[in-house]
Amino acid sequence: MGAIYKYKKIFLFFLAFACIMMTVLTGQWFIFSKVPINKGYNVSEQMEIRRVLSINQCKDSTNKTVVDIVRKKKDTLFGSKNFLYCPIPKVGSTTWKQILILLKNKCKKCTNVRDVKRVHDILNDYWDSDKFRNMKKVLDRSQKMIIVREPYSRLLSGYINKVFIPVRLVFWENTWKYVERKRPVSHKKCVDFTFPEIVRYVIKAIKTNTMYNAHFDTMSNICKPCEIRYDYILKMETFNVDTMYMLKKLNRSDVYNDTDTLKRDSIVDSITWDINNMFRKDTGKCQSKPEKIRRLWRSFQISGYIGKNVKLPLSKKAEKNISKQELLQIVINATKIKNANNKVNKRLALIEAYSQVPYSDLVQLSEIFQQDCDIFGYDCKPDILFNRTKYPPSTNFLDIWST
């Protein structure tokens, strides 16, 4: 009996260890979800669970109708025949806009999703005069889709993509003046905000109803899930599988044959877009070329495209003279380096970034996110962010000069 008990303890120890390692190595955000998710989860079953949860959490909704909302802001919903989609920045919206352009045959020369460019311009014409006049009919007959994401990771993604990496000054022309900086800066219009400064901006702007930047607004404010009943709620945490399921529902499985292609295309498109932007004349005017490159490299590591220990393979001289195509090739090559740490980069970056935010601000942010958490089934006080003793930061992703 003693021997059996001993081996049983050893077995349970290794079983627990294996479970922990699986959680770490998969690098998924399932720790934030109130609804358990695993590799064998049933997509249609999850869609129904999410739909019912959103309805139950919205019993005390406002008197606004879907028509009222869309008439006021036409780009809340758009799509193709009998299918409407509400895009949320930093939640796969570019990929799905590309898909919709293919579905609507809006790009005659496009043979696949990666051929689709200028996604934000092509879809602006969905609500033509006829649809606008018959809006209620169009809305009633159409199935509606939304894609959501764990709020804390979405906010950090917005910061990385619209602040940390080189961005066009025009993006901040109507927003930068609202961000309070309690430190000297080289130029008042430099987009060099820290993450804690952005968090304070988000808290103040949403509380005072002065948020003009959808990248930092809450998902509920953007897509009004208590007024618009969504038939399908996809999640960024299971984006590839959910997207394949949705394409099958739309009878367009031909757009993507497998999740690996979808994932790879999304990564390459994202990298190409950011590098093209970096080389624009109106991007990152307060930053040197080496600084811009290092910020991009770090952002690709944070996104999990490049391993956290993969060094930028450029000398100081090369950083100053490298061309756009050369940089793109170096980054693409770096994404092919196999590194077991890639999948946990996002989690580690999340801990690092939020550890810099004053705890009182973190609590206020959780209150801002509460509606999104309740409606979409996320934990609004995840242990890895609120238990700082148990989960101290162990990376320096936001220090660009240590690349």
Q: Distance between CA 382 and CA 41 in Å, rounded?
A: 22
Mean pLDDT of 260-273: 88
pLDDT on residue 403: 65
pLDDT over 70 (residue 326): yes
Report, as an integer, the average pLDDT of 31-58. 80
Q: What is the pLDDT of residue 33?
A: 60
pLDDT of residue 17: 39
Whole-model pTM? Answer: 0.86
So what's the pLDDT on residue 375? 97
Average model confidence (pLDDT) for the chain?
Answer: 83
Region 99-126 average pLDDT: 74
> Between 182 and 400, where is the model more confident?
400
Who has greater pLDDT, 268 or 189?
268
- pLDDT category at 114 given cuts 50, 70, 90 is confident
Q: Per-residue pLDDT for 43 more than 80?
A: yes
Determine what percent of the chain is predicted with pLDDT higher than 70: 81
pLDDT value for 188: 56
Taking residues 337-343, report their average pLDDT. 68
Question: Mean of the pLDDT values across residues 201-208?
Answer: 93
Would the CA dihedral through 161, 88, 77, 42 be positive or negative? Answer: positive
What mean pLDDT is predicted for residues 223-246? 93
Is 299 or 81 the better-scoring residue by pLDDT?
299
pLDDT band at 63 (very low <50, low <70, confident <90, very high): low
Residue 126 has pLDDT above 90, yes or no: no
- Per-residue pLDDT at 324: 95
pLDDT confidence tier of residue 196, bands split at 50, 70 and 90: very high
pLDDT band for position 80 (50/70/90)? confident
Dihedral angle of Cα 329, 330, 334, 337, to the nearest 10 degrees: 80
**Whole-Å CA distances, 117 to 107, 259, 342:** 9, 21, 28
Tell me the average pLDDT across 204-232: 92
Q: Which residue has the higher pLDDT, 72 or 281?
A: 281
> Using CA of residue 265, residue 268, residue 273, residue 276, what is the dihedral sign?
negative
- Least confident window among 104-108, 256-260, 371-375: 104-108
Average pLDDT over residues 231-256: 92
Range from 46-60, 152-166, 248-262 carrying the lowest mean pLDDT: 248-262
Distances in whole angstroms, Cα of residue 210 to Cα of each of 174, 201, 240:
11, 10, 34
| Sign of the dihedral through C-alpha 37, 40, 42, 47 | positive
β-pairing verdict for 78-80 and 83-86 = antiparallel
Averaged pLDDT for residues 102-130: 72
Mean pLDDT of 50-62: 85
Q: Please name which of 247, 245, 290 lies closest in space to residue 400, comparing C-alpha atoms.
A: 290
Helices 324-335, 289-302: crossing angle, 10 deg rounding: 20
- Polymer length in residues for the chain: 403
Residue range 333-361: mean pLDDT, rounded: 88
pLDDT single digits (tens) 270-316: 999 999 989 988 787 778 899 999 999 999 999 999 998 899 999 98
The per-residue pLDDT for range 2-38, each reduced to its tens digit, is 554 444 444 444 433 343 333 333 334 344 665 545 5
Highest-confidence range of 35-49, 340-354, 386-400, by mean pLDDT?
Answer: 386-400
